[in-house]
Amino acid sequence: MSFQEIWQQFIEGMKNTTWLEYIAVFAGIASVWYSRIENILVYPVGLINTIIYVWLSVEGQLFGEASVNLYYTVMSIYGWMLWTKKDKEQHIIVHVKFSDRRWWFYQLAFFAIFYLAIFISLSYLKRSFAPGAIPWADAFASATAFTGMWLMTKKKVESWYWWIALCFYQCILFCIINNGRLGTH
């Protein structure tokens, strides 16, 4: 595919994007920025993004994507409460930290539990309703996202590792899918 074809697809996509999608995208970008600078606005702005995407996903019958964004919504509320929690002297309780060995175990266990639960659920759905589903791929992406979001609420530096891993994985996965390499499962 040439650069001109890619550019043309991009322009067509921009023309077909609704105002609600633009709001969600801009809120998502702003939320990432607020997370980077450790600003509490990460959560209310992030909620705008996730609530819109829950709505759009349900409307488009993308129920898996809707469930991921519903999880983000719930975790954003939890993170908002956690980040604003203070001790008796009015000091913030949760601080940005690297994980110790115990927390690395928690991360991997959290990921594994969600991966298995999602994989088993999607495998069942594949047999019953969605023969084109790719359970291992969807489960990996979802469990990675769930882990990253959970760690973000705890202000763990490693949340960024999970988010970056998810972005790389999804880029590769979408390229493979678009080239038809995962066309038969």
User: In 3-state terms, what secondary structure has residue 105?
Assistant: helix
Among the listed residues 185, 137, 140, the one whose alpha carbon sits nearest the alpha carbon of residue 162: 140
Q: Which element (helix H / strand E) includes 174? A: helix 158-178
**Helical residues (DSSP H) of 16-99, grouped into ranges:** 19-36, 42-59, 63-84
Q: 112 CB contacts (<8 Å, ≥6 apart)?
A: 143
**Rounded mean pLDDT, 13-34:** 92
Contact present, 146 and 114 (Cβ < 8 Å): yes
Alpha-carbon gap, residue 147 to 162, rounded angstroms: 7
**Using one digit for the tens of pLDDT, what is the confidence trace for 80-139?**
999 998 888 888 888 899 999 999 999 999 999 999 999 998 888 777 776 777 788 888
Among the listed residues 71, 72, 86, 85, the one whose alpha carbon sits nearest the alpha carbon of residue 42: 72
**Using one digit for the tens of pLDDT, what is the confidence trace for 163-176?**
999 999 888 877 77
The token duo for 106 is 């928690």
On the question of pLDDT at 179 being above 80, the answer is: no
On the question of pLDDT at 31 being above 90, the answer is: yes
Among the listed residues 137, 39, 127, the one whose alpha carbon sits nearest the alpha carbon of residue 80: 39
Q: pTM for this one?
A: 0.79
